[in-house]
């Protein structure tokens, strides 16, 4: 072959060989040769494409993307190449990049339907609605006869309230699909939207005539509205139809049903009654009537209607029996309710040993009962639920209903799964034993979703995570707190030890707590159980995340954890939660860890749920409260009691130490010292990464020393590697707690583990083995210099062995020991567990530690997107006085962590601002989720009840995030997220103020970009203040929103954005990137615009205006700072206008101010703005400014008669004229008293939110 005979440096030969192998489907060799080809000749675009295609076939997406990127860069005229590049970006989850590649494909070949469809599909997966509309519009010319395409665009227009355009497209689609009744009706809605009611009625009539599914000929247009789930409109349409058909039973029922779904219960009852009067044989209609009556709390009427439904129904409906039983129970008619519950349960009767137990031979029955009772006694300490249930069935077979009930009750208290049959058997036994009220409670609990929702849980139960949440919230809302029940959890259920175990062991045999029930969480059935838990009637074991776990989490009076409960947990009133934590921190935690500040979100959340927090020293108190962001929010009590687990080490008896040595396989008579090696695990809260192999090698090297016993407690990855080692190494059994172990240890070797502080209480020597000290300290961070701790710091195994031997032969303690004990173990005297018990269970305040409080507490909510709103927030937080205000920021933890730009903004927060990251799912019930989705769809509430249900769910969500923390002011600073705004509104407590900030002309934002903002407009009226960022903008928003959305005028106000002049000036003096500085140098003027590349900024208009300027003054240049969804479109437009040498797209810049200072004139081409931060920043730098004459810019540049720049017509000609004016010397530098402006802005903010004078609380 040529390749083997000197051809290996010939690129064309390599490519031909690769292509030949590709034709033969040998992708491995094809990749080999074509890779060689592109390495030899990297300028051949089609070779890069072919290599990318091979990688794509092999599903090597990243490699394929790299090749396609090189191909498209070398030859940007190939649309298919951009399409293939987009497929790889999509596979890698790079959605924005995929959108841009598909835009490029469409731009290069606008006639290709495939590219348009791919772009439309991509944008439908989470892009802003306006982007999807633009993509659909761009493909319209090649999709004229594609009904699906036209319909998608028509519906998008309709959603954005562009009704005229929607109506035109719907008209065209109906020509293609003239018999589609639903389509005809939608067309009528579009015409109604543009106020053409006559045409709308014509379309509605056509829809009714064409319908073959919805019975519209009888029911009228309401059938279509009901199909669209527009309940109120449907009810109105049915009511109108009833005027013409007053005796139509179906119409009465439909009006009742749509009123029912609109939560207008009285209207529903009236119509349902009319329907069943006209057609009494309709069982389901009776059921709906009963349901509406139940919602109205007309329990007698509901019971009668449920009974009628059951009586008329031709088939058995267990749930209808259940609902009848439920209302009878609510009425206190427990015997009748029990009978209905029994009918609902459809219990399989057990074979009775005696037909009539009371008349059975006394001796025989007594003998059998005696044996069964003996069996019951033998299982009373069992942890197995089924053992109790089986004995309960024996009692039932003997007719001892009371005995059966007792055993069934114990069974359900131990069953990790929710077993309806068990609850029903319990209810049946209670009913037969004459305990009807208790029977009803048991029967009701057989259904997790027992409340009258009218919404099925089935649709929400498909996701395991959502199922967990909706079940938990049912228990949270409906089950009472069980007194004297303690739920314990340690190490996320992975073990039963640490502080919770020590507290348990301190009270379990104390007569004062003899009536307490102790419930322990385990991750699974493999977790070892300490002896202190076994053979006790009052101890139960529950598997984490099981149904039983959720029930105890929602009902236990006392909760004790050394880490965190799940993200859905909410402590409710009447519950007490003690977080003991699990050690004094040596390595940094929470916000102190560089780059990992948001990983602690669930820890922060748990601390805010806690009513009590244990601490071992002042350092631990500081870290747990400050580093986790709760120091100004925590409403519980902090007790400096010492750590209960350390009592085990200090109080260890000779007998217990011998038992430990025996468990380790060491002879107590052998006086050879015991050396424990206990390294920490590496990594973060979310990723436990350990160099297990290297550590195992070090351990084997340590084990060579003959003069001590080496025992190891390490991560299980390391321990697994030590199995079978021929060295003298003892791996500590998992059943042995660390603090029991420490009692027999003569020398501790560790690195960064908090075990060092537990061991410090013994006064015995320790050695630090830290071969990676610099790397670990840099990556994770340490609170102390290890040299300050009482032990040698070693980097090698030999140094460690030397340190051990020195420690064992020394006749005095390390010189740093006393000071460290005073600092870190001041309370470790062997009585910490008793102090913790008194602190938590008895309310002892003698060891309580006060936390600092500020004059006012402000909660801000923001998305941290890289834009002017975020800059405004950062400036405000920096400018507010931290001595007066405790400032907390609520963010979406996952959203910020997973977005590099948002995370960069987050890292710019002032140090004094605490953050709470929202983590986990919304803990909302089935009904609440239905109400929320209805509100999201219709943007309004039908009734006050719906609104109350909606905000109940968000009040619970606020409590999930913040516990009982209280704020003086709640500031929704972003204003673009209905979900997050609703959470903030959930925090209203009757004394706090709530403010929503508007940074733009919000109606314009809604109609041009974000139609979902109509949800926000409905929420505005719930806030105390609707605050724009300038006086002019406030007037605009008030005039557009007040009357239309029912927001009182007096709620509208304003407070200007804050800038930081000193920071702007300081950063402006920094050097510009050399390459950018060189591009900007020269004799021509440089205009600069700094703004995200999005539609409202209208950079395209500026580029077209700038084309005119370059024609007149060729040396003039334009710098565009920023990034955004239109970056690709604007770059293409720049190329089309032949501006590539005159326009520089600078992208996002960490320091835009230096670029502004190096520029000659600032320009802003926006179509609408709030109060543009960039104008204020340019004014601080004294720049000449040209801006389009819009409300927001006018409010800054021409405020109160001042002139800080030139306002021009909002058009291409206007911008071109403004730039000419600057070039001819007719635009002067801005003169701006920045310090006076900032002082005024801060005072205005504090006045608006109510923190300027007396405290709000």
Q: What secondary structure, in 3-state letters, does 52-106 show?
A: HHHHHHCCCHHHHHHHHHHHHHHCCCCHHHHHHHHHHHHHCCCHHHHHHHHHHHH
Q: Do 80 and 197 sit in the same domain of this protein?
A: yes
Domain boundary among 397, 415, 447: 447
Cα–Cα distance measured from residue 559 to residue 571, given in angstroms and rounded to the nearest whole number: 9
First to last CA, the chain: 88
3-state secondary structure string across 824-844: HCCCCCCCHHHHHHHHHHCCC
Q: Specify whether the CB–CB gap between 298 and 289 falls below 8 A.
A: no
Q: What is the pLDDT of residue 219?
A: 97
What residues of the chain score a pLDDT lower than 50? 683-690, 1253-1257
The per-residue b/e assignment along 917-937, b for 16 or more CB within 10 angstroms, e otherwise, is bbbbebbbbbbbbbbbebbee
Record the tokens describing residue 1216, joined without a space. Answer: 């071109």
pLDDT tens string 991-1002: 789 999 999 999
CA distances from 487 to 473, 484, 578, 834, 936 (A): 18, 10, 10, 18, 38
Q: Do 798 and 875 sit in the same domain of this protein?
A: no
Q: What is the pLDDT of residue 717?
A: 56
3-state secondary structure of 921: coil
Tell me whether residue 353 is in a domain.
Answer: yes
Tell me whether residue 511 is in a domain.
Answer: no
Q: Total domain count for the chain?
A: 7
Q: Do 101 and 170 sit in the same domain of this protein?
A: yes
Q: What is the pLDDT of residue 724?
A: 61
Q: Do 62 and 197 sit in the same domain of this protein?
A: yes
Q: Do 698 and 686 sit in the same domain of this protein?
A: yes
Q: What is the pLDDT of residue 1256?
A: 31
Tell me whether residue 1181 is in a domain.
Answer: yes
Q: Do 174 and 146 sit in the same domain of this protein?
A: yes
Give the CATH number of the domain where residue 341 resides. 1.25.40.10
Q: What is the pLDDT of residue 727?
A: 66
Q: Do 845 and 863 sit in the same domain of this protein?
A: no
Strand bridging mode 729-731 / 914-918 = unpaired
Q: Do 1019 and 1120 sit in the same domain of this protein?
A: no
Domain boundary among 431, 447, 463: 447
Domain boundary among 1034, 1054, 1074: 1054
Give the CATH number of the domain where residue 1145 resides. 3.40.50.2000
Q: Specify whether the CB–CB gap between 549 and 520 falls below 8 A.
A: no
At 191, give phi and psi (nearest 5°): -65, -35
Closest CA to 290 of 333, 319, 251, 314: 319
pLDDT tens string 862-876: 999 988 899 999 999
Contacts of 504 (CB under 8 A, 6+ apart): 486, 488, 518, 520, 532, 560
Tell me whether residue 235 is in a domain.
Answer: no
Q: Do 95 and 23 sit in the same domain of this protein?
A: yes
Q: Do 1004 and 1121 sit in the same domain of this protein?
A: no
Q: Which domain holds residue 892?
A: 856-1054
Tell me whether residue 467 is in a domain.
Answer: no
Q: Do 1157 and 1040 sit in the same domain of this protein?
A: no
Q: What is the pLDDT of residue 1216?
A: 97
Q: Specify whether the CB–CB gap between 222 and 200 falls below 8 A.
A: no
Where do the H-state alpha helices sit in 963-1000?
Answer: 978-985
Closest CA to 1058 of 864, 855, 868: 868
Q: What is the largest CA-CA distance in the chain?
A: 119
Q: Do 1166 and 1078 sit in the same domain of this protein?
A: yes
Q: Specify whether the CB–CB gap between 1014 and 161 falls below 8 A.
A: no
Say which residue the tokens 């319990």 belong to: 426
Tell me whether residue 260 is in a domain.
Answer: no
Q: Specify whether the CB–CB gap between 626 and 600 falls below 8 A.
A: no
Tell me whether residue 1026 is in a domain.
Answer: yes
241 dihedral zone (left: phi>0; alpha: psi -120 to 50; beta): alpha
Which strands sit side by side in the sheet containing 539-543, from one edge to the other?
539-543, 517-522, 482-489, 556-561, 576-579, 612-615, 637-640, 848-849
Tell me whether residue 182 is in a domain.
Answer: yes
The per-residue b/e assignment along 830-847, b for 16 or more CB within 10 angstroms, e otherwise, is ebbbbbbbbbbbeebeeb
pTM reported for the whole predicted model: 0.91
């Amino acid at each position: 072959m040529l390749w083997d005979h000197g051809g290996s440096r010939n690129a064309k030969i390599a490519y031909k060989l690769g292509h030949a192998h590709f034709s033969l489907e040998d992708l491995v060799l094809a990749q080999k040769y074509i890779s060689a080809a592109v390495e030899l000749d990297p300028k051949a675009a089609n070779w890069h494409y072919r290599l990318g295609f091979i990688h794509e076939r092999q599903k090597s997406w990243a490699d394929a993307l790299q090749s396609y990127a090189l191909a498209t860069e070398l030859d940007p005229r190939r649309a298919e190449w951009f399409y293939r590049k987009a497929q790889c970006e999509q596979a890698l989850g790079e959605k924005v990049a995929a959108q841009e590649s598909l835009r490029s494909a469409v731009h290069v070949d606008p006639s290709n339907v495939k590219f348009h469809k791919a772009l439309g599909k991509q944008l439908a997966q989470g892009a802003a609605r306006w982007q999807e509309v633009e993509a659909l519009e761009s493909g319209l010319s090649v999709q004229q006869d594609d009904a699906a395409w036209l319909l998608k665009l028509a519906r998008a227009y309709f959603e954005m309230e562009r009704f005229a355009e929607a109506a035109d497209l719907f008209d065209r689609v109906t020509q293609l699909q003239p018999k589609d009744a639903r389509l005809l009706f939608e067309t009528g809605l579009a015409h109604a939207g543009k106020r053409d009611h006559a045409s709308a009625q014509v379309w509605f009539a056509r829809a009714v005539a064409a319908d073959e599914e919805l019975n519209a000929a009888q029911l009228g247009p309401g059938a279509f509205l009901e199909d669209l789930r527009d309940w109120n409109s449907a009810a109105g349409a049915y009511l109108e139809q009833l005027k013409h058909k007053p005796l139509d039973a179906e119409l009465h029922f439909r009006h009742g049903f749509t009123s029912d779904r609109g939560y207008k219960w009285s209207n529903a009852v009236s119509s349902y009654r009319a329907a069943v009067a006209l057609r009494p044989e309709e069982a389901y209609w009776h059921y709906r009537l009963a349901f509406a009556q139940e919602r109205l709390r007309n329990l007698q009427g509901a019971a009668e209607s449920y009974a009628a439904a059951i009586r008329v129904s031709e088939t058995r409906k267990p749930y209808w029996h259940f609902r009848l039983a439920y209302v009878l129970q609510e009425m206190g008619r427990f015997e009748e309710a029990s009978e209905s519950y029994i009918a609902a349960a459809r219990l399989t009767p057990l074979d009775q040993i005696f037909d009539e137990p009371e008349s059975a031979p006394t001796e025989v029955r007594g003998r059998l009962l005696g044996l069964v009772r003996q069996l019951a006694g033998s299982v009373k300490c069992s942890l197995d639920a089924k053992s109790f249930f089986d004995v309960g069935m024996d009692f039932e077979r003997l007719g001892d209903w009371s005995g059966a009930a007792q055993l069934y009750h114990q069974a359900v208290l131990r069953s990790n799964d929710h077993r309806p049959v068990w609850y029903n058997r319990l209810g049946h036994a209670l009913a037969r034993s004459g305990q009807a009220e208790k029977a009803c409670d048991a029967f009701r609990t057989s259904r997790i979703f027992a409340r009258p929702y009218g919404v099925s849980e089935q649709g929400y139960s498909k996701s395991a995570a959502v199922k967990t949440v909706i079940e938990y919230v049912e228990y949270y809302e409906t089950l009472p707190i069980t007194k004297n029940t303690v739920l314990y959890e340690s190490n996320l259920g992975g073990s039963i030890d640490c502080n919770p175990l020590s507290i348990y062991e301190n009270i379990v045999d104390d007569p004062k707590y003899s009536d307490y029930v102790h419930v322990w969480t385990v991750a699974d059935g493999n977790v070892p159980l300490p002896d202190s838990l076994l053979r006790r009637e009052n101890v139960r074991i529950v598997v984490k995340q099981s149904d039983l776990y959720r029930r105890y989490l929602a009902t236990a009076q006392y909760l004790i954890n050394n880490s965190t409960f799940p993200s859905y947990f909410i402590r409710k009133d009447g519950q007490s939660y003690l977080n003991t934590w699990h050690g004094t921190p040596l390595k940094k935690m929470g916000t102190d860890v560089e780059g990992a500040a948001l990983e602690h979100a669930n820890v922060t959340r748990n601390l805010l749920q806690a009513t009590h927090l244990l601490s071992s020293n002042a350092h631990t108190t500081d870290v747990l409260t400050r580093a986790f962001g709760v120091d100004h929010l925590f409403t519980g009590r902090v007790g400096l009691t010492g750590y209960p687990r350390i009592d085990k080490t200090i109080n260890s008896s000779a007998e217990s130490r011998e038992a430990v040595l025996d468990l380790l396989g060491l002879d107590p008579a052998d006086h050879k010292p015991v050396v424990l090696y206990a390294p920490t695990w590496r990594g973060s809260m979310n990723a436990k990464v350990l160099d297990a192999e290297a550590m195992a090698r070090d351990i084997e090297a340590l084990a060579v020393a003959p003069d001590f016993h080496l025992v190891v407690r390490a991560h299980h990855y390391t321990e697994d590697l030590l199995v079978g080692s021929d060295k003298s190494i003892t791996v500590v059994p998992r059943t042995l707690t660390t603090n029991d172990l420490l009692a027999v240890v003569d020398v501790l070797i560790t690195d960064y583990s908090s075990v060092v502080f537990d061991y410090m209480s013994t006064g015995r020597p320790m050695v630090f083995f830290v071969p990676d000290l610099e790397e670990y300290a840099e990556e994770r961070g340490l609170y102390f210099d290890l040299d300050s701790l009482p032990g040698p710091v070693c980097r090698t195994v030999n140094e460690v062995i030397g340190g051990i031997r020195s420690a064992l032969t020394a006749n005095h303690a390390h010189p740093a020991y006393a000071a460290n004990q005073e600092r870190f173990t001041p309370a470790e005297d062997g009585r910490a567990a008793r102090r913790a018990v008194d602190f938590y269970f008895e309310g002892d305040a003698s060891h309580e530690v006060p936390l600092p409080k500020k004059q006012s507490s402000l909660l801000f909510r923001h998305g941290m997107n890289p834009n002017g709103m975020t800059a405004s927030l950062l400036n405000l937080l920096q400018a507010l006085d931290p001595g007066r205000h405790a400032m907390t920021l609520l963010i979406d933890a996952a959203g910020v962590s997973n977005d590099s730009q948002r995370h960069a903004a987050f890292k710019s927060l002032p140090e004094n601002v605490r953050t709470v990251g929202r983590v986990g799912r919304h803990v909302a019930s089935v009904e609440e989720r239905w109400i929320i989705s209805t509100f999201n769809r219709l943007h309004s509430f039908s009734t006050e009840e719906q609104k109350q249900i909606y905000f109940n769910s968000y009040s619970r969500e606020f409590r999930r995030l913040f516990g009982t923390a209280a704020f003086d002011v709640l500031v929704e600073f972003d204003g673009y997220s209905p979900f997050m705004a609703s959470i903030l509104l959930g925090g209203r407590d009757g004394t706090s103020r709530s403010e929503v900030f508007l940074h733009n002309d919000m109606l314009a934002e809604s109609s041009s970009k974000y139609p979902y903002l109509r949800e926000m407009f409905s929420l505005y009226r719930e806030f105390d203040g609707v605050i724009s960022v300038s006086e002019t903008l406030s007037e605009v928003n008030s005039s557009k929103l007040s009357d239309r959305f029912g927001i009182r005028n007096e709620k509208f106000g304003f407070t200007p954005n804050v800038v930081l002049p000193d920071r702007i000036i300081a950063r402006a003096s920094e050097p510009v990137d050399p390459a950018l500085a060189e591009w900007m140098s020269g004799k021509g003027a440089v205009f600069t615009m700094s703004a995200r590349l999005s539609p409202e900024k209208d950079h395209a208009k500026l580029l077209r205006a700038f084309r005119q300027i370059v024609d007149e003054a060729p040396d003039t240049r334009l710098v565009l700072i920023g990034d955004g969804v239109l970056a690709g479109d604007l770059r293409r437009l720049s190329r089309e206008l032949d501006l590539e040498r005159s326009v520089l797209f600078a992208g996002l810049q960490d320091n835009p101010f230096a670029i502004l200072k190096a520029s000659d004139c600032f320009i802003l081409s926006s179509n609408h703005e709030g109060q543009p931060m960039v104008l204020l920043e340019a004014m601080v730098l004294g720049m000449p400014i040209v801006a389009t004459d819009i409300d927001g810019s006018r409010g800054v540049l021409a405020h109160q008669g001042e002139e800080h720049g030139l306002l021009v017509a909002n058009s291409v000609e206007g911008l071109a004229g403004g730039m000419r004016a600057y070039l001819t010397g007719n635009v002067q530098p801005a003169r701006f008293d920045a310090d006076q402006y900032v002082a005024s802005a801060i005072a205005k903010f504090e006045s608006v939110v109510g923190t300027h004078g007396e405290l709000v609380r």
